Amino acid sequence: MKIIKAPAVDKEVISEMGDTCVLMRARLISRVITAIHDEELASLGIGSAQFALLVVIYQIEPVTRAEIGRYNHQDRSTLTRNMRLLLEQGWIEEIRNPDSARGRPVLLTQAGKDLLYSAEPGWRAAQARARTLLGKQGVSAVMATAKRIMELQPG
């Protein structure tokens, strides 16, 4: 990509970026919703990223890291970092099958299922706060957009 020198007096393009950028708004919403969930789940010693990963693993288990990454649109380093914590805490376990070419699938342990069950009140409180913040139309837009993204996934 070629970098173009910005004109000294033309601030309109950069102002437009700040005022209308979908990326900036989506990241703002993500940070705020993440913080709400982190706060509500903190008493269990789990963050929103690990919570969401546990739920994804439960939904599609047994599942490999590659499958989780594709499903969750998550890069390998972030996924590895979050899965390491889940493994260390004993919330997930690897299935070792020398006859399988699928890598090492993971699934939730009973401790992981217990944690998710225990997280229900905090999750419900976070959901209520997020829904209040986003409003009915905002929640509908988020859910519809996520559904479209999931439907477009190769699979």
Which tens digit of pLDDT belongs to each residue from 79-112? 989 899 999 999 999 998 766 666 789 999 999 9
pTM to 2 decimals?
0.85
Mean pLDDT in residue range 139-152: 93
- Greater model confidence, 118 or 154: 118
**34: pLDDT strictly greater than 70:** yes
Residue tagged 């477009």 (tokens): 152
**76: pLDDT strictly greater than 90:** no
Burial class (CB in 10 A: 0-12, 13-18, 19+), 71: middle
**Residue-level length of the chain:** 155
| Cβ proximity of 81 and 122 under 8 Å | no
| Cβ proximity of 115 and 47 under 8 Å | no
